[in-house]
Amino acid sequence: MRRPLLAAALYLSVIGLSVTACVQGQPQSAQSTGRLAFWLRPPATAAELRTTLNAARQAGFTDVLLEGFYHGRVAWASDQFPRKLDYDAVQTALDVQAQGGPRVNVWVETLYWRPAASFGIPVTPLWKDSLATLTADGRPSLSVSKLGFVDPAAPEVRDTLARLVTELATRYPEAGLHLDYLRYPRETDFGYHPAALAGFRAQTGLDARTLPRAGEDGPGNGWRQWVAYRQNLTTTLAGNLIRTYRDSGGRSLVSAAVYGMSDPLQNWRAWSGLEAAMPMLYLPGNLLTRLALLQFPRGEGVWPGVQVGPRYPALADQLRTVRAAGYSNVAVFGWTPGGSDFSRRGVRWGAARGSRQGFRRLQNREPYSIWCAGKPLPHRVLAYGRPVVAHLHGRPGTPHQEVGPRTRLIRWWTGASLPGGAGRAGVS
């Protein structure tokens, strides 16, 4: 996903439309209203965590999304689950919150339990190969990517997560619940766990492994049922975990990190009890961020997720962009106290060098169109210095108009297919 996005954004930076200097900076100047959260993996010691949280408060952050269940281990004082740290990171953060620090939300990597062996991280005792989600030909995600996912159809997975959330809410009712990785891996098609196959067969009489993905008129009815079945598994799991959190005494915000594009197996808009969705946009230019935001409803329920670092605009600029688009709350990935300052000249030089290569790759392609939320809307963009008109569409497969030069500006967004098999749709 990043390579075509970056190529287009780099080119736009040269013509003055998108990428600004990548200065991580501090957000005070842009943080006038709303809430500002940041994702944080707990450092090795309680003292370091307190220092980081106090620095975040001074920088203007109101919330911390504190990694509390990752690599199949917890970051709190548990008597049921394997621990990640030698101290209770959740209680430490809550103590800082009580002194005026950022509000604590415990970040749970819901279905991602095991990194690949190449990371050198000990395998959690919770992991069993029998729990892993599988491809249609029986491969686990660890054989396809470096992330070991469990399957939401496995009863033991659901029971373990329910117990984990119960313990969290019971011990720390003032800490919010932040769900992440509540999805299937996206490297290829997953979800063919024996429990899922059996459940789908009992419901429909069909074997999901033999279903054709598409016919002459698009996806067949059986394939659509299989997609809906797996989507419902993640939706049901989300609703059950949120209800468990509330029933166990949890009194704070319930939020989730969600995919910034379209994932037919992750329908977070249907997750009962979800109060804040944080779509992970992580785009290298503010123009791209403005386009991406068009697919989401404005309001308190959507906290756009942005990233800071050497390939991204300054945080203050990103906050202005997001809030000008109508979103008062924002989540930030990659922030650290006193982050590095990257020079404007260095970033511009790298953008110019990369853009020439990107231009050669992008020219002489199919006509492009922009797909997004809502009904068709005109939007002007600049393709290699020439203004062109594209149309924005909401759902994959809806009629669309292709206009402009034979150039593919960007290739991302909804994951839908363009007519004639031209590729993945989005800004194309």
Cβ neighbours for 255, distance < 8 A, ≥ 6 positions apart: 65, 105, 176, 177, 178, 179, 274, 275, 276, 277, 278, 303
| 172/251 same-domain check | yes
Question: Would you give per-residue pLDDT tens digits along the chain (428 residues)?
Answer: 333 444 444 333 332 333 222 223 344 433 457 999 999 999 999 999 999 999 999 999 999 999 999 999 999 999 999 999 999 999 999 999 999 999 999 999 999 999 999 999 999 999 999 999 999 999 999 999 889 999 999 999 999 999 999 999 999 999 999 999 999 999 999 999 999 999 999 999 999 999 988 655 556 789 999 999 999 999 999 999 999 999 999 999 999 999 999 999 999 999 999 999 999 999 999 999 999 999 999 988 999 999 999 999 999 999 999 999 999 999 999 999 976 422 222 222 222 222 323 222 223 233 333 333 333 333 333 233 333 333 333 333 333 333 333 233 332 223 333 233 333 233 32
| 159/240 same-domain check | yes
Other CB atoms within 10 A of residue 415 CB: 17
Gap between the Cα atoms of 307 and 332, Å rounded: 6
| 169/256 same-domain check | yes
Q: What was the pLDDT predicted at 299?
A: 83
User: Is the residue at 7 inside a domain?
Assistant: no
Q: How far is CA 90 from CA 87, 97, 174, in A?
A: 9, 10, 10
User: Is the residue at 286 inside a domain?
Assistant: yes
∠ CA(219), CA(224), CA(228), 5° rounding? 155
The CATH number of the domain holding residue 278 is: 3.20.20.80
| 44/172 same-domain check | yes
Gap between the Cα atoms of 227 and 233, Å rounded: 10
User: Is the residue at 4 inside a domain?
Assistant: no
User: Is the residue at 347 inside a domain?
Assistant: no
Helices (H), 111-172: 155-171
User: Is the residue at 152 inside a domain?
Assistant: yes
| Burial group, residue 114, by CB count within 10 angstroms (0-12, 13-18, 19+) | buried
| DSSP secondary structure of 75-96 | SS--SSS-BSSSS-HHHHHHHH
User: Is the residue at 5 inside a domain?
Assistant: no
Into how many domains does the chain fold?
2
| 243/388 same-domain check | no
Other CB atoms within 10 A of residue 261 CB: 18
Q: In this structure, what token pair is assigned to residue 331? A: 């989540």
CB 4 within 8 A of CB 412: yes
| 272/328 same-domain check | yes
| 85/187 same-domain check | yes
| Alpha-carbon Rg for the chain in angstroms | 22
| 371/328 same-domain check | no
| 323/369 same-domain check | no
| 400/288 same-domain check | no
How many helices and strands in the chain, by DSSP H and E? 9, 13
Expressed as residue numbers, the domain containing 370 is 364-428
| 154/218 same-domain check | yes
| 161/115 same-domain check | yes
User: Is the residue at 294 inside a domain?
Assistant: yes
* Bridge partners, 75 (sequence order): none
User: Is the residue at 340 inside a domain?
Assistant: no
**Continuous segment of H or E residues that includes residue 38:** strand 36-40
